[in-house]
Structure 1
Amino acid sequence: MGKGGKLFEGEKPSFSWEEIKTHDVKEKPWLVIEGEVYDITNWIKKHPGGNRVIGFYAGQDATDAFQAFHNDLNYVKKYLKPLNIGKLDESQTKGDKFELEQDFRKLRETAEKMDLFRPSYTFFILSLGHILLLEVLAYLNMLYFGTGWGPYLLSVLLYTIVQAQSGWLQHDFGHISVFKGKKWDHIIHHFLMGFTKGASSSWWKHMHYQHHAKPNVINKDPDVRVESIFVLGDVMPVEVAKTRKKSLPYNWQHRYFFLIVPPLLFPVYFQYMIFRYTITRRQWKDLVCLFAFFAKLFFLYGPLLGFWGALRYYFLVRCLESHWFTWVSQSNHIPMTIEKDQSKPWLQLQIHATCNVQKSFFNDWFTGHLNFQIEHHLFPTMPRHNLYKIAPLVKSLCEKHGVTYCVKPLGRAFVDIVRSLKSSGELWLATYEAHHLL
């Protein structure tokens, strides 16, 4: 029973936030969903989305995260019943934070009434169709016109587009935002990630769901666990400078970023991590898809380019795709707030960690509609072609509660990556000199 709670026969015990927050450790984690308190100690390892995703909300209110990640709430809620141990003390549901949470939940209800979670199958068929068409053209181009520089470079360009656009499309199926029933979303996600991209569906979900649960949160979001090479934001540079006497010259990170991340993220780091994950986690289905991708690659391009020529072709495409992905994905996050977990309401958490890029036909296509990163993070299962429709309402809600809603031109968003790295590097240097050189 909660501190000060009074329990009558048949009545659930009530708990204060002070008590709930003490259960933020792995040994006996609790969380709150819709005012009900759940002990997830025995469920955390069984959670289909991974123990880290649900564990990130131990000792916190997980209502909006729960709604964001699950399409069929009634189906999922039946798994919650055995975990329920009480309810949140009603005296705790007051204040600006509570009002913000309630307004956001009303916004979600509005989005549902506007039918914004309904996908356009025409949109996704055309998206997949243009990818498959370009993949065929990339091969036929060299088959019929030879492997001279002209046809070769055109083929590389077409196949790079195939890989980048497949990345955006798999993202939709990975978030269960197309069919709403997991079966077909999972099947097509495996196809796109494995056979079309030569990557691991399971690895992507393992990493990406953590990112969405706590974006830009130090020690939780895997996308900002980069302190061995970079320091990001205003908190990480200071901590690293104080605790590490020997480290990289982070004040140069805005320069060596160009040499390390855009050209090497996909062809080196992701390549290594994908195979490592599938083998160590025994993801045999993913491994079969990986081998099928490379069998297709060498079967088609081996006779045209030879084994080593096909391998060079593959890594050149990966390098170009890596540039495309890096600049798009990092423009939405690196320049934003990067800090330790503050248990922020869902709206504040997501918006402080994300920004948008201005809408245009090219920007929508080039970024896979992730130019609406704010709306995507708030509603990750919403089909991307509907994100622009909810954007004005999100902006209005932000204005009401004094939350900054950031939209940038595409070029400025790219430049801000470098500016942010430079600023964080200078902060690291100033702190390092103050603690170790004086």
Structure 2
Amino acid sequence: MPPQVAEALEPRTFTRQEISGLNSQLTDDDRQAAMKFTIIDNKVYDVTDFVHEHPGGEQVLLTHVGKDASDVFHAMHPASAYEVLANNYVGDLAKDVSVPKATNSVFAAEMREYRDKLQEQGYFNADKGFYLYKLVSTVGLSVVSLAVLRYFGQSTIGVLVSAVIMGMFWQQCGWLSHDFGHHQVFEDRSYNDMVVVFLGNLCQGFSLSWWKNKHNTHHASTNVHGQDPDINTAPILLWDEYTSSDYYSTLSAEDSGLAKFIAQNIIPNQTRYFFFILAFARLSWAHSSMLYSFKKGALNKSATLNFFERAAIVLHWTVFAAVTYFWIDTPLNRVLFFLVSQSTTGYALALVFALNHSGMPVISEEKAEEMEFFEIQVITGRDVKNGLLGDWFCGGLNYQIEHHLFPNMPRHNLKKVQPKVIEICRKHNVPYHLTSFWRGTLEVLQTLDIVQKVSAKLSKKAF
């Protein structure tokens, strides 16, 4: 063992400058070999080996190497995670009064106090009756869809009605999978994962491990350029000037074919095809999900989970193909059922996803390091005012800010804490964005328009 590694394993005191130096090693060619340290509650942990075993995904941990991950850790981990954390302890963080405080540190302190108060008052405890109702009513949508298809599969209208209902079933499965995936329902996390395999892998055709790897990273680095996978949709859609600049900087006059065509004709007109693209969102996610499951396997390296995930996905598509073939009498209606069901889910999911963060501030990695976790979650999120139908359609994600502040809080409690969150934000002058569904959608389109104009100018320079 190299002497510097042996020394690092002995508990000692680290300065922030040392941690920053270790973090800078990750930009070198020896990224994989570089030692990886993170800070939680003023203690330093060596996660060099653990990063590949992290049950929440490797990438989410890498986004906080060399940084203070205290708030992210507390927001997304159970008490049992402290035992695992203790195994990686290597020392304490030295007190350095010369280090400037992060922006809105007072706001973060009050938000931490509010979170602790909510935990004491039971706001993180799920109403099992609510989730039983959601499970039964959601599965009921598939029963209705299949019944319509079984008895009216010879009618184009019947096929279309069944397809739309099936699409909404998949959307609602997505919201419930999200709730269980965040471990909002059961204290035993394995029970939550079992439900996600049923709702996600089997009912919806999406891999639990694929979703967690992607979504956990999104929560840890929301709208942070270069880290949040949800805003990394190039070259299909560009959401900010950072991404546009990065994308066009890789192009040159020598580029030809598809890359040149996209850069010159597609991205500079992205607002025109935005809604067309949404129709294919579910198919794109299902494809990525299947590739992840069969190439990388289960996120927690469990062979058992890996088997059930893959088996459930295969069964999902097998049943879908069988029902489509045997219960629908003509090739045209079979194609209609496939396209309408898939596109219904694509629109129903993607419209809500776009409202969550698209068009909200995108933060550079450098700026993010100067900001508190809670501040980032508030300023990058958009809450949407809805009635009961809107709440059902959005699956509780219309309380996006509250969800990002308290990811493990059951959705039925998010509305209850919203007023206090708004009050704390106003007290500390932290921008809190609340708008309507249609106004939020317009803001998304306006952002796409701004970026497409920037892209048009960059395209002229590149070619």
Q: Same fold (TM over 0.5)?
A: yes
Match of 1:422 in 2: 449
Residue deviations 1:374-420, cap 9 Å, x none?
11111111101111111122212212222100011011111211111
- Secondary structure at 1:80 match in 2: helix
Judged with a 3 Å threshold, the aligned counterparts in structure 2 of structure 1 residues 312 and 150 are, in CA distance, closer, same or farther, namely closer
Residue deviations 1:331-376, cap 9 Å, x none?
1211011232222211122122211101321221010010001111
Q: In 1, Cα distance between the equivalents of 2:205 and 2:246?
A: 37
Matching of residue 281 in structure 1 with residue 296 in structure 2: yes
TM-score, structure 2 normalization: 0.85
Deviates more, 1:381-390 or 1:25-34: 25-34
Q: Which amino acid in the other structure matches residue 81 of structure 2?
A: V
Q: Which amino acid in the other structure matches residue 171 of structure 1?
A: H
Deviates more, 1:367-376 or 1:145-154: 145-154
Q: CA deviation at 1:422?
A: 0.2
Match of 2:301 in 1: none
5+ long unaligned stretches in structure 1: 1-10
Match of 2:316 in 1: 293
Identity of aligned residues (%): 26
Match of 2:390 among 363, 367, 376: 363
Cα contact 1:236–1:339 (8 A) shared by 2: no
Q: In 1, Cα distance between the equivalents of 2:105 and 2:433?
A: 23
Cα contact 1:233–1:334 (8 A) shared by 2: no
Residue deviations 1:120-144, cap 9 Å, x none?
1111111111112121111212333
- Secondary structure at 1:231 match in 2: coil
Q: CA deviation at 1:182?
A: 0.9
Match of 2:342 in 1: 318
Cα contact 2:386–2:437 (8 A) shared by 1: no
Match of 2:279 in 1: 263
1:192-271 superposed matches below 5 A: 192-245=199-252, 247=260, 248-249=263-264, 250-259=267-276, 261-267=277-283, 269-271=284-286
Q: CA deviation at 1:66?
A: 0.4
Q: CA deviation at 1:178?
A: 0.6
Matching of residue 379 in structure 1 with residue 406 in structure 2: yes
Residue deviations 1:166-210, cap 9 Å, x none?
111111111111112111101010000122112211111121111
Q: Which amino acid in the other structure matches residue 356 of structure 1?
A: D
Match of 2:71 among 64, 80, 83: 64
Q: In 1, Cα distance between the equivalents of 2:160 and 2:273?
A: 27
Q: In 2, Cα distance between the equivalents of 1:17 and 1:229?
A: 39
Q: In 2, Cα distance between the equivalents of 1:203 and 1:320?
A: 22
Match of 1:128 in 2: 135
Q: CA deviation at 1:97?
A: 4.4
Judged with a 3 Å threshold, the aligned counterparts in structure 2 of structure 1 residues 59 and 314 are, in CA distance, closer, same or farther, namely same
Match of 1:3 in 2: none
1:55-204 superposed matches below 5 A: 55-71=62-78, 73=79, 75-92=80-97, 95=101, 97-204=104-211
Q: In 2, Cα distance between the equivalents of 1:262 and 1:329?
A: 11
Q: In 1, Cα distance between the equivalents of 2:104 and 2:68?
A: 11
Q: CA deviation at 1:307?
A: 8.8
Judged with a 3 Å threshold, the aligned counterparts in structure 2 of structure 1 residues 239 and 141 are, in CA distance, closer, same or farther, namely closer
Q: In 2, Cα distance between the equivalents of 1:97 and 1:167?
A: 34
Judged with a 3 Å threshold, the aligned counterparts in structure 2 of structure 1 residues 140 and 240 are, in CA distance, closer, same or farther, namely closer
Q: In 2, Cα distance between the equivalents of 1:88 and 1:395?
A: 33
TM-score, structure 1 normalization: 0.90
- Secondary structure at 1:85 match in 2: strand
Q: In 1, Cα distance between the equivalents of 2:458 and 2:430?
A: 30
Match of 1:399 in 2: 426
Judged with a 3 Å threshold, the aligned counterparts in structure 2 of structure 1 residues 396 and 94 are, in CA distance, closer, same or farther, namely farther
Deviates more, 1:24-33 or 1:183-192: 24-33
Q: CA deviation at 1:315?
A: 3.3
Q: In 1, Cα distance between the equivalents of 2:100 and 2:245?
A: 35
Cα contact 1:241–1:429 (8 A) shared by 2: no
Q: CA deviation at 1:146?
A: 4.8
Cα contact 1:298–1:310 (8 A) shared by 2: no
Q: CA deviation at 1:278?
A: 1.8
5+ long unaligned stretches in structure 2: 1-9, 298-305
Judged with a 3 Å threshold, the aligned counterparts in structure 2 of structure 1 residues 307 and 215 are, in CA distance, closer, same or farther, namely farther
Judged with a 3 Å threshold, the aligned counterparts in structure 2 of structure 1 residues 303 and 431 are, in CA distance, closer, same or farther, namely closer
Q: Which amino acid in the other structure matches residue 390 of structure 1?
A: V
1:347-362 superposed matches below 5 A: 347-362=374-389
Q: In 2, Cα distance between the equivalents of 1:105 and 1:311?
A: 52
Cα contact 1:278–1:284 (8 A) shared by 2: no
Q: In 2, Cα distance between the equivalents of 1:391 and 1:110?
A: 14
Q: Which amino acid in the other structure matches residue 323 of structure 1?
A: Y
Q: In 2, Cα distance between the equivalents of 1:243 and 1:304?
A: 49
Cα contact 2:76–2:407 (8 A) shared by 1: yes
Q: CA deviation at 1:156?
A: 1.7
Residue deviations 1:71-124, cap 9 Å, x none?
2x2x21122223222222233487454433322211211211231101011111
Match of 1:329 among 333, 353, 362: 353
Deviates more, 1:114-123 or 1:279-288: 279-288
Matching of residue 408 in structure 1 with residue 435 in structure 2: yes
Q: In 2, Cα distance between the equivalents of 1:306 and 1:274?
A: 30
What do you get for the CA RMSD once the two structures are aligned?
Answer: 2.2
Match of 2:373 in 1: 346
Match of 1:388 in 2: 415
Matching of residue 44 in structure 1 with residue 44 in structure 2: no
